[in-house]
Structure 1
Protein backbone atom coordinates (compact mmCIF):
# COMPACT_ATOMS: atom_id res chain seq x y z
CA UNK A 1 0.00 0.00 0.00
CA UNK A 2 1.33 3.42 -0.99
CA UNK A 3 1.82 6.07 1.70
CA UNK A 4 -0.83 8.32 0.10
CA UNK A 5 -3.36 5.48 0.26
CA UNK A 6 -2.53 4.84 3.90
CA UNK A 7 -2.96 8.54 4.66
CA UNK A 8 -6.35 8.63 2.95
CA UNK A 9 -7.67 5.48 4.64
CA UNK A 10 -6.40 6.70 8.02
CA UNK A 11 -8.37 9.92 7.53
CA UNK A 12 -11.50 7.91 6.67
CA UNK A 13 -11.18 5.69 9.75
CA UNK A 14 -10.52 8.57 12.14
CA UNK A 15 -13.46 10.48 10.67
CA UNK A 16 -15.70 7.48 11.32
CA UNK A 17 -14.45 7.26 14.92
CA UNK A 18 -14.94 10.99 15.37
CA UNK A 19 -18.57 10.78 14.22
CA UNK A 20 -19.28 7.78 16.43
CA UNK A 21 -18.02 9.58 19.53
CA UNK A 22 -19.70 12.87 18.62
CA UNK A 23 -23.12 11.23 18.36
CA UNK A 24 -23.02 9.16 21.54
CA UNK A 25 -21.48 5.74 20.78
CA UNK A 26 -19.75 3.91 23.62
CA UNK A 27 -15.97 3.71 23.47
CA UNK A 28 -15.78 -0.05 22.96
CA UNK A 29 -17.99 0.21 19.86
CA UNK A 30 -15.83 3.04 18.50
CA UNK A 31 -12.70 0.91 18.81
CA UNK A 32 -14.37 -2.11 17.23
CA UNK A 33 -15.81 -0.25 14.23
CA UNK A 34 -12.55 1.65 13.63
CA UNK A 35 -10.45 -1.52 13.64
CA UNK A 36 -12.88 -3.42 11.43
CA UNK A 37 -13.16 -0.58 8.91
CA UNK A 38 -9.40 -0.11 8.77
CA UNK A 39 -8.76 -3.80 8.12
CA UNK A 40 -11.54 -3.91 5.51
CA UNK A 41 -9.81 -1.09 3.63
CA UNK A 42 -6.36 -2.68 3.77
CA UNK A 43 -4.81 -1.38 7.01
CA UNK A 44 -2.85 -4.05 8.90
CA UNK A 45 -3.54 -2.61 12.36
CA UNK A 46 -5.52 0.24 13.91
CA UNK A 47 -4.74 1.48 17.41
CA UNK A 48 -7.04 4.01 19.04
CA UNK A 49 -6.72 6.09 22.18
CA UNK A 50 -9.86 7.88 23.36
CA UNK A 51 -10.10 10.68 25.91
CA UNK A 52 -12.98 12.83 27.04
CA UNK A 53 -12.71 15.35 24.18
CA UNK A 54 -10.18 13.94 21.70
CA UNK A 55 -8.97 10.76 20.05
CA UNK A 56 -5.60 9.64 18.73
CA UNK A 57 -5.50 7.00 15.97
CA UNK A 58 -2.48 5.16 14.60
CA UNK A 59 -2.50 3.00 11.47
CA UNK A 60 0.20 0.44 10.69
CA UNK A 61 1.05 -0.92 7.23
CA UNK A 62 4.31 -2.80 6.48
CA UNK A 63 5.97 -1.27 9.53
CA UNK A 64 5.00 2.30 8.57
CA UNK A 65 2.93 4.17 11.16
CA UNK A 66 0.70 7.19 10.64
CA UNK A 67 -0.77 8.91 13.69
CA UNK A 68 -3.48 11.54 13.66
CA UNK A 69 -5.43 13.39 16.33
CA UNK A 70 -8.98 14.69 16.22
CA UNK A 71 -10.96 16.82 18.65
CA UNK A 72 -14.41 15.57 19.66
CA UNK A 73 -17.29 18.03 19.71
CA UNK A 74 -20.50 16.48 20.99
CA UNK A 75 -23.52 16.89 18.73
CA UNK A 76 -26.07 15.11 20.89
CA UNK A 77 -27.22 11.50 20.76
CA UNK A 78 -28.33 10.29 17.33
CA UNK A 79 -28.54 6.54 16.81
CA UNK A 80 -29.31 6.97 13.09
CA UNK A 81 -25.77 8.23 12.50
CA UNK A 82 -24.25 5.40 14.55
CA UNK A 83 -26.29 2.75 12.71
CA UNK A 84 -25.31 4.23 9.33
CA UNK A 85 -21.62 4.12 10.27
CA UNK A 86 -21.98 0.48 11.31
CA UNK A 87 -23.67 -0.25 8.00
CA UNK A 88 -20.79 1.37 6.07
CA UNK A 89 -18.32 -0.78 8.02
CA UNK A 90 -20.24 -4.00 7.28
CA UNK A 91 -20.51 -3.24 3.55
CA UNK A 92 -16.79 -2.40 3.43
CA UNK A 93 -16.01 -5.75 5.07
CA UNK A 94 -18.10 -7.52 2.43
CA UNK A 95 -16.15 -5.77 -0.32
CA UNK A 96 -19.16 -3.81 -1.59
CA UNK A 97 -17.69 -0.45 -0.54
CA UNK A 98 -14.15 0.62 -1.36
CA UNK A 99 -12.29 3.62 0.00
CA UNK A 100 -13.90 6.00 -2.52
CA UNK A 101 -17.42 4.87 -1.68
CA UNK A 102 -16.73 5.03 2.07
CA UNK A 103 -15.43 8.58 1.61
CA UNK A 104 -18.57 9.56 -0.29
CA UNK A 105 -20.87 7.99 2.29
CA UNK A 106 -19.09 9.66 5.21
CA UNK A 107 -19.29 13.04 3.48
CA UNK A 108 -23.06 12.72 3.09
CA UNK A 109 -23.88 11.59 6.63
CA UNK A 110 -26.13 14.09 8.37
CA UNK A 111 -28.23 13.57 11.50
CA UNK A 112 -31.97 13.31 11.00
CA UNK A 113 -34.37 14.26 13.77
CA UNK A 114 -38.10 13.99 14.25
CA UNK A 115 -40.07 17.22 13.78
CA UNK A 116 -41.03 19.13 16.92
CA UNK A 117 -44.71 18.67 16.12
CA UNK A 118 -44.23 14.94 16.70
CA UNK A 119 -41.68 15.07 19.54
CA UNK A 120 -43.55 17.47 21.83
CA UNK A 121 -46.83 15.51 22.21
CA UNK A 122 -44.98 12.20 22.52
CA UNK A 123 -42.84 13.57 25.36
CA UNK A 124 -45.98 14.88 27.04
CA UNK A 125 -47.69 11.51 26.63
CA UNK A 126 -44.73 9.58 28.00
CA UNK A 127 -44.48 11.78 31.10
CA UNK A 128 -48.24 11.58 31.61
CA UNK A 129 -47.94 7.79 31.44
CA UNK A 130 -45.32 7.88 34.19
CA UNK A 131 -47.67 10.04 36.23
CA UNK A 132 -50.36 7.38 35.83
CA UNK A 133 -47.85 4.73 36.97
CA UNK A 134 -47.18 6.89 40.02
CA UNK A 135 -50.90 6.59 40.88
CA UNK A 136 -51.65 10.13 39.73
CA UNK A 137 -55.30 10.98 39.07
CA UNK A 138 -56.63 12.12 35.71
CA UNK A 139 -56.12 15.81 36.43
CA UNK A 140 -52.51 15.15 37.52
CA UNK A 141 -51.90 13.31 34.24
CA UNK A 142 -53.31 16.23 32.25
CA UNK A 143 -51.14 18.71 34.16
CA UNK A 144 -48.12 16.49 33.56
CA UNK A 145 -48.87 16.32 29.84
CA UNK A 146 -49.17 20.09 29.58
CA UNK A 147 -46.12 20.87 31.74
CA UNK A 148 -43.78 18.43 30.01
CA UNK A 149 -44.99 19.46 26.54
CA UNK A 150 -44.30 23.13 27.28
CA UNK A 151 -40.98 22.14 28.82
CA UNK A 152 -40.01 20.27 25.66
CA UNK A 153 -40.88 23.32 23.56
CA UNK A 154 -38.62 25.43 25.79
CA UNK A 155 -35.84 22.86 25.58
CA UNK A 156 -35.98 22.71 21.77
CA UNK A 157 -36.10 26.50 21.54
CA UNK A 158 -33.03 26.91 23.74
CA UNK A 159 -31.20 24.19 21.82
CA UNK A 160 -31.97 25.93 18.50
CA UNK A 161 -30.40 29.10 19.95
CA UNK A 162 -27.30 27.12 21.00
CA UNK A 163 -27.61 27.79 24.73
CA UNK A 164 -25.25 25.93 27.02
CA UNK A 165 -26.74 22.52 27.80
CA UNK A 166 -26.59 23.12 31.56
CA UNK A 167 -28.51 26.39 31.18
CA UNK A 168 -30.96 24.59 28.90
CA UNK A 169 -31.70 21.89 31.47
CA UNK A 170 -31.94 24.34 34.35
CA UNK A 171 -34.39 26.69 32.59
CA UNK A 172 -36.45 23.79 31.26
CA UNK A 173 -36.72 22.25 34.74
CA UNK A 174 -37.76 25.63 36.14
CA UNK A 175 -40.54 26.06 33.56
CA UNK A 176 -41.82 22.49 33.97
CA UNK A 177 -41.93 22.68 37.77
CA UNK A 178 -43.56 26.11 37.73
CA UNK A 179 -46.37 24.79 35.52
CA UNK A 180 -46.73 21.49 37.40
CA UNK A 181 -47.44 23.42 40.61
CA UNK A 182 -50.87 24.25 39.18
CA UNK A 183 -52.06 21.02 40.78
CA UNK A 184 -51.57 22.56 44.22
CA UNK A 185 -53.74 25.58 43.39
CA UNK A 186 -57.36 25.25 44.34
CA UNK A 187 -56.94 21.51 44.91
CA UNK A 188 -57.20 20.78 41.20
CA UNK A 189 -55.63 17.38 41.78
CA UNK A 190 -55.56 15.01 44.71
CA UNK A 191 -52.08 13.83 43.70
CA UNK A 192 -50.18 17.01 42.69
CA UNK A 193 -46.89 15.51 43.86
CA UNK A 194 -47.16 12.81 41.20
CA UNK A 195 -47.48 15.47 38.50
CA UNK A 196 -44.41 17.33 39.74
CA UNK A 197 -42.35 14.15 39.94
CA UNK A 198 -43.35 12.80 36.51
CA UNK A 199 -43.10 16.08 34.57
CA UNK A 200 -39.33 16.39 34.92
CA UNK A 201 -38.50 12.80 33.99
CA UNK A 202 -37.83 13.98 30.42
CA UNK A 203 -34.65 15.60 31.78
CA UNK A 204 -33.12 12.42 33.21
CA UNK A 205 -29.82 11.87 31.29
CA UNK A 206 -30.32 8.13 30.99
CA UNK A 207 -28.29 7.48 27.84
CA UNK A 208 -25.13 9.30 29.06
CA UNK A 209 -25.33 7.46 32.38
CA UNK A 210 -25.67 4.08 30.66
CA UNK A 211 -22.73 4.86 28.37
CA UNK A 212 -20.67 6.04 31.34
CA UNK A 213 -21.21 2.80 33.25
CA UNK A 214 -20.60 0.72 30.12
CA UNK A 215 -17.31 2.52 29.43
CA UNK A 216 -16.07 2.11 32.99
CA UNK A 217 -17.03 -1.57 33.11
CA UNK A 218 -15.19 -2.21 29.84
CA UNK A 219 -12.02 -0.46 30.98
CA UNK A 220 -12.42 3.01 29.45
CA UNK A 221 -12.22 4.74 32.81
CA UNK A 222 -11.29 8.24 31.62
CA UNK A 223 -14.14 8.48 29.13
CA UNK A 224 -16.57 6.80 31.52
CA UNK A 225 -15.77 9.17 34.38
CA UNK A 226 -16.04 12.14 32.02
CA UNK A 227 -19.45 11.06 30.79
CA UNK A 228 -20.58 10.33 34.34
CA UNK A 229 -19.47 13.81 35.42
CA UNK A 230 -21.32 15.43 32.53
CA UNK A 231 -24.51 13.50 33.32
CA UNK A 232 -24.17 14.48 36.98
CA UNK A 233 -23.85 18.16 36.02
CA UNK A 234 -26.99 17.90 33.88
CA UNK A 235 -28.85 16.36 36.82
CA UNK A 236 -27.57 19.08 39.15
CA UNK A 237 -28.67 21.79 36.69
CA UNK A 238 -32.16 20.27 36.61
CA UNK A 239 -32.28 20.13 40.41
CA UNK A 240 -31.35 23.82 40.61
CA UNK A 241 -34.20 24.76 38.27
CA UNK A 242 -36.67 22.59 40.16
CA UNK A 243 -35.60 23.99 43.53
CA UNK A 244 -35.89 27.61 42.44
CA UNK A 245 -39.37 27.03 41.01
CA UNK A 246 -40.53 25.27 44.18
CA UNK A 247 -39.12 28.06 46.38
CA UNK A 248 -40.90 30.71 44.33
CA UNK A 249 -44.13 28.70 44.37
CA UNK A 250 -43.98 28.20 48.11
CA UNK A 251 -44.07 24.40 47.88
CA UNK A 252 -41.33 24.03 50.50
Structure 2
Protein backbone atom coordinates (compact mmCIF):
# COMPACT_ATOMS: atom_id res chain seq x y z
CA UNK A 1 0.00 0.00 0.00
CA UNK A 2 2.86 2.34 0.83
CA UNK A 3 4.57 1.65 -2.50
CA UNK A 4 1.31 2.26 -4.34
CA UNK A 5 0.84 5.58 -2.54
CA UNK A 6 4.40 6.60 -3.36
CA UNK A 7 3.78 5.77 -7.01
CA UNK A 8 0.61 7.89 -7.02
CA UNK A 9 2.44 10.78 -5.32
CA UNK A 10 5.28 10.61 -7.87
CA UNK A 11 2.76 10.62 -10.71
CA UNK A 12 1.02 13.66 -9.26
CA UNK A 13 4.31 15.48 -8.79
CA UNK A 14 5.19 14.80 -12.42
CA UNK A 15 1.89 16.33 -13.52
CA UNK A 16 2.53 19.38 -11.32
CA UNK A 17 6.04 19.76 -12.73
CA UNK A 18 4.73 19.77 -16.31
CA UNK A 19 1.82 22.10 -15.51
CA UNK A 20 3.97 24.62 -13.63
CA UNK A 21 6.74 24.69 -16.23
CA UNK A 22 4.24 25.18 -19.06
CA UNK A 23 2.57 28.03 -17.13
CA UNK A 24 5.92 29.62 -16.32
CA UNK A 25 7.00 29.65 -19.96
CA UNK A 26 3.67 31.05 -21.11
CA UNK A 27 3.59 33.91 -18.61
CA UNK A 28 7.24 34.84 -19.10
CA UNK A 29 6.66 34.85 -22.86
CA UNK A 30 3.78 37.32 -22.53
CA UNK A 31 0.74 35.03 -22.76
CA UNK A 32 -2.55 36.22 -21.29
CA UNK A 33 -3.77 34.78 -17.99
CA UNK A 34 -6.81 33.10 -19.56
CA UNK A 35 -4.65 31.08 -21.94
CA UNK A 36 -2.26 30.09 -19.14
CA UNK A 37 -5.00 28.87 -16.81
CA UNK A 38 -6.75 26.99 -19.61
CA UNK A 39 -3.51 25.20 -20.51
CA UNK A 40 -2.93 24.20 -16.88
CA UNK A 41 -6.50 22.89 -16.55
CA UNK A 42 -6.25 21.19 -19.95
CA UNK A 43 -3.24 19.10 -18.90
CA UNK A 44 -4.41 18.27 -15.36
CA UNK A 45 -7.94 17.30 -16.49
CA UNK A 46 -6.51 14.89 -19.05
CA UNK A 47 -5.06 12.84 -16.19
CA UNK A 48 -8.36 12.74 -14.31
CA UNK A 49 -7.89 15.73 -11.99
CA UNK A 50 -10.93 17.67 -13.17
CA UNK A 51 -11.22 19.57 -9.87
CA UNK A 52 -7.79 21.18 -10.21
CA UNK A 53 -7.57 24.88 -9.49
CA UNK A 54 -5.23 27.51 -10.87
CA UNK A 55 -4.92 31.24 -10.41
CA UNK A 56 -2.33 33.36 -12.17
CA UNK A 57 -1.40 37.01 -12.34
CA UNK A 58 1.39 38.50 -14.42
CA UNK A 59 3.75 37.92 -11.46
CA UNK A 60 2.50 34.78 -9.64
CA UNK A 61 1.36 31.24 -10.54
CA UNK A 62 -0.83 29.34 -8.05
CA UNK A 63 -1.87 25.74 -8.75
CA UNK A 64 -3.41 22.87 -6.80
CA UNK A 65 -4.02 19.49 -8.40
CA UNK A 66 -6.77 18.35 -6.01
CA UNK A 67 -8.03 19.08 -2.52
CA UNK A 68 -5.68 16.61 -0.83
CA UNK A 69 -2.48 17.73 -2.56
CA UNK A 70 -0.01 20.46 -1.69
CA UNK A 71 -0.32 23.66 -3.75
CA UNK A 72 2.46 24.93 -5.99
CA UNK A 73 3.37 28.63 -6.16
CA UNK A 74 5.90 30.27 -8.44
CA UNK A 75 6.97 33.93 -8.66
CA UNK A 76 7.44 35.33 -12.16
CA UNK A 77 10.35 37.77 -12.10
CA UNK A 78 10.81 38.63 -15.77
CA UNK A 79 8.46 38.96 -18.72
CA UNK A 80 8.93 39.50 -22.42
CA UNK A 81 7.02 38.91 -25.64
CA UNK A 82 7.99 35.67 -27.38
CA UNK A 83 5.18 34.23 -29.50
CA UNK A 84 7.39 31.34 -30.64
CA UNK A 85 7.59 30.00 -27.07
CA UNK A 86 3.83 30.33 -26.64
CA UNK A 87 3.19 28.42 -29.86
CA UNK A 88 5.62 25.64 -28.91
CA UNK A 89 4.08 25.19 -25.45
CA UNK A 90 0.62 24.97 -27.03
CA UNK A 91 1.91 22.25 -29.35
CA UNK A 92 3.36 20.25 -26.46
CA UNK A 93 0.14 20.49 -24.42
CA UNK A 94 -1.97 19.31 -27.35
CA UNK A 95 0.33 16.36 -28.02
CA UNK A 96 0.29 15.48 -24.33
CA UNK A 97 -3.50 15.26 -24.10
CA UNK A 98 -3.60 13.24 -27.31
CA UNK A 99 -1.21 10.78 -25.60
CA UNK A 100 1.46 11.40 -28.24
CA UNK A 101 3.89 12.32 -25.44
CA UNK A 102 4.50 10.92 -21.97
CA UNK A 103 4.88 13.22 -18.98
CA UNK A 104 8.66 12.74 -19.01
CA UNK A 105 8.87 13.54 -22.72
CA UNK A 106 6.64 16.58 -22.32
CA UNK A 107 8.72 17.91 -19.43
CA UNK A 108 11.96 17.48 -21.41
CA UNK A 109 10.47 19.30 -24.40
CA UNK A 110 9.28 22.13 -22.19
CA UNK A 111 12.76 22.40 -20.68
CA UNK A 112 14.21 22.61 -24.19
CA UNK A 113 11.73 25.34 -25.08
CA UNK A 114 12.61 27.29 -21.93
CA UNK A 115 16.38 26.99 -22.37
CA UNK A 116 16.94 26.86 -26.11
CA UNK A 117 14.22 29.14 -27.53
CA UNK A 118 16.04 32.42 -27.12
CA UNK A 119 14.72 35.92 -27.56
CA UNK A 120 15.48 37.64 -30.86
CA UNK A 121 18.95 39.24 -30.98
CA UNK A 122 19.29 42.97 -30.47
CA UNK A 123 20.27 43.67 -34.08
CA UNK A 124 17.13 41.90 -35.30
CA UNK A 125 14.92 43.93 -32.95
CA UNK A 126 16.59 47.14 -34.12
CA UNK A 127 15.88 46.38 -37.77
CA UNK A 128 12.33 45.29 -36.91
CA UNK A 129 11.78 48.52 -34.96
CA UNK A 130 12.91 50.58 -37.92
CA UNK A 131 10.55 48.71 -40.26
CA UNK A 132 7.62 49.03 -37.84
CA UNK A 133 8.15 52.79 -37.74
CA UNK A 134 8.26 52.89 -41.52
CA UNK A 135 5.03 50.88 -41.74
CA UNK A 136 3.18 53.31 -39.51
CA UNK A 137 4.57 56.23 -41.48
CA UNK A 138 2.95 54.69 -44.56
CA UNK A 139 -0.35 54.08 -42.73
CA UNK A 140 -0.48 57.74 -41.70
CA UNK A 141 0.23 58.98 -45.24
CA UNK A 142 3.62 60.28 -44.18
CA UNK A 143 5.95 62.08 -46.55
CA UNK A 144 8.81 60.40 -48.38
CA UNK A 145 11.23 62.97 -47.01
CA UNK A 146 10.60 61.55 -43.50
CA UNK A 147 11.54 57.94 -44.33
CA UNK A 148 15.19 58.11 -43.26
CA UNK A 149 14.38 59.92 -40.03
CA UNK A 150 11.67 57.44 -39.04
CA UNK A 151 13.84 54.45 -39.91
CA UNK A 152 16.65 55.75 -37.72
CA UNK A 153 14.42 56.91 -34.87
CA UNK A 154 12.39 53.67 -34.75
CA UNK A 155 15.54 51.58 -34.70
CA UNK A 156 17.41 53.66 -32.13
CA UNK A 157 14.34 53.81 -29.87
CA UNK A 158 13.94 50.06 -29.51
CA UNK A 159 17.72 49.60 -29.30
CA UNK A 160 18.01 51.98 -26.32
CA UNK A 161 14.91 50.50 -24.63
CA UNK A 162 16.13 46.89 -24.93
CA UNK A 163 19.68 47.72 -23.83
CA UNK A 164 18.44 49.40 -20.65
CA UNK A 165 15.96 46.56 -19.98
CA UNK A 166 18.81 44.04 -20.02
CA UNK A 167 20.63 46.00 -17.33
CA UNK A 168 17.67 47.18 -15.24
CA UNK A 169 14.66 45.00 -14.34
CA UNK A 170 12.44 48.01 -13.72
CA UNK A 171 9.43 49.67 -15.28
CA UNK A 172 9.33 53.22 -16.66
CA UNK A 173 13.06 53.96 -17.02
CA UNK A 174 13.75 51.91 -20.22
CA UNK A 175 10.65 53.27 -21.97
CA UNK A 176 11.37 56.82 -20.79
CA UNK A 177 14.85 56.83 -22.31
CA UNK A 178 13.52 55.02 -25.38
CA UNK A 179 10.96 57.78 -25.93
CA UNK A 180 13.62 60.39 -25.18
CA UNK A 181 16.02 58.97 -27.79
CA UNK A 182 13.24 58.71 -30.37
CA UNK A 183 12.21 62.33 -29.87
CA UNK A 184 15.84 63.50 -30.09
CA UNK A 185 16.35 61.55 -33.32
CA UNK A 186 13.11 62.86 -34.86
CA UNK A 187 13.74 66.50 -33.88
CA UNK A 188 17.32 66.28 -35.18
CA UNK A 189 16.15 64.64 -38.41
CA UNK A 190 13.44 67.27 -38.85
CA UNK A 191 16.06 69.99 -38.34
CA UNK A 192 18.56 68.61 -40.88
CA UNK A 193 15.91 67.40 -43.35
CA UNK A 194 13.14 70.03 -43.05
CA UNK A 195 9.81 69.91 -44.81
CA UNK A 196 8.31 66.83 -43.16
CA UNK A 197 5.54 66.38 -40.62
CA UNK A 198 6.98 66.30 -37.09
CA UNK A 199 3.85 64.85 -35.43
CA UNK A 200 3.52 62.00 -37.92
CA UNK A 201 7.21 61.16 -37.54
CA UNK A 202 6.96 61.05 -33.75
CA UNK A 203 3.85 58.86 -33.72
CA UNK A 204 5.34 56.44 -36.26
CA UNK A 205 8.70 56.20 -34.49
CA UNK A 206 7.35 55.42 -31.01
CA UNK A 207 5.16 52.55 -32.24
CA UNK A 208 7.92 49.89 -31.85
CA UNK A 209 8.04 50.48 -28.08
CA UNK A 210 4.30 50.96 -27.50
CA UNK A 211 2.98 48.04 -25.34
CA UNK A 212 0.54 46.75 -27.96
CA UNK A 213 0.69 43.08 -26.95
CA UNK A 214 0.21 44.03 -23.29
CA UNK A 215 -2.90 46.07 -24.09
CA UNK A 216 -4.33 43.32 -26.31
CA UNK A 217 -3.74 40.65 -23.64
CA UNK A 218 -5.35 42.87 -20.98
CA UNK A 219 -8.49 43.19 -23.11
CA UNK A 220 -8.55 39.42 -23.73
CA UNK A 221 -8.30 38.81 -19.98
CA UNK A 222 -11.16 41.27 -19.42
CA UNK A 223 -13.37 39.35 -21.84
CA UNK A 224 -12.31 36.09 -20.17
CA UNK A 225 -13.41 37.38 -16.75
CA UNK A 226 -9.85 37.51 -15.40
CA UNK A 227 -10.15 40.87 -13.68
CA UNK A 228 -6.91 40.67 -11.69
CA UNK A 229 -4.81 40.13 -14.82
CA UNK A 230 -6.77 42.85 -16.64
CA UNK A 231 -6.08 45.32 -13.83
CA UNK A 232 -2.37 44.55 -13.47
CA UNK A 233 -1.65 44.47 -17.20
CA UNK A 234 -3.66 47.63 -17.83
CA UNK A 235 -1.72 49.39 -15.07
CA UNK A 236 1.57 48.17 -16.53
CA UNK A 237 0.54 49.37 -20.00
CA UNK A 238 -0.45 52.78 -18.60
CA UNK A 239 2.87 53.19 -16.80
CA UNK A 240 4.77 52.19 -19.96
CA UNK A 241 2.73 54.58 -22.12
CA UNK A 242 3.24 57.39 -19.62
CA UNK A 243 6.99 56.74 -19.63
CA UNK A 244 7.14 56.97 -23.44
CA UNK A 245 5.07 60.18 -23.40
CA UNK A 246 7.25 61.69 -20.68
CA UNK A 247 10.42 60.94 -22.66
CA UNK A 248 9.01 62.51 -25.83
CA UNK A 249 7.61 65.51 -23.95
CA UNK A 250 10.94 66.18 -22.22
CA UNK A 251 12.54 66.78 -25.63
CA UNK A 252 9.65 68.72 -27.18
CA UNK A 253 9.50 71.14 -24.24
CA UNK A 254 13.08 72.27 -24.86
CA UNK A 255 13.13 71.81 -28.64
TM-score, normalised to structure 2's length? 0.88
Is 1:96 the equivalent of 2:96? no
Distance apart, 1:44 and its partner CA: 4.3
CA separation of 1:10 and 1:216: change in aligned 2, threshold 3 A: same
1:228 deviates by 0.2
> Once superposed, what is the RMSD of the aligned Cα atoms?
2.0
Matches within 5 A, 1:86-125: 86-110=90-114, 111-125=117-131
Q: Does 1:176 align with 2:182?
A: yes
Q: How far did residue 72 of structure 1 move? A: 2.0
Matches within 5 A, 1:46-65: 46-60=52-66, 64-65=68-69
Normalising by structure 1, we get a TM-score of 0.89
Taking the TM superposition and a 5 Å limit, the aligned residue runs for 1:129-148 are 129-148=135-154
| CA pair 52-186 structure 1, distance change in 2 beyond 3 A | closer
Runs (5+) with no aligned partner, structure 2: 1-6
Q: 2:251 aligns with which of 245, 248, 252?
A: 245
CA contact (8 A) 2:19 2:40 kept: yes
Q: Partner of 1:167 in structure 2?
A: 173
How far the C-alpha of 1:184 sits from its partner, in A, is 4.0
Would you say 1:25 and 2:63 are equivalent positions?
A: no
Could you give the per-residue CA deviations for residues 93-133 of structure 1, whole angstroms, max 9, x where no partner exists?
12121111122112222332333333322321221232233
1:142 shift after superposition: 1.5
Q: Secondary structure at the match of 2:93?
A: helix
Local SS of the residue matching 1:207: helix
Alpha carbons of structure 1 residues 137 and 115: separation in structure 2 relative to 1, 3 Å: same
Report if aligned partners of 1:131, 1:144 keep a CA contact under 8 Å in 2: yes
- Cα drift, residue 76 of structure 1: 0.5
* Cα distance, 1:102–1:138 mapped onto 2, change above 3 Å: same
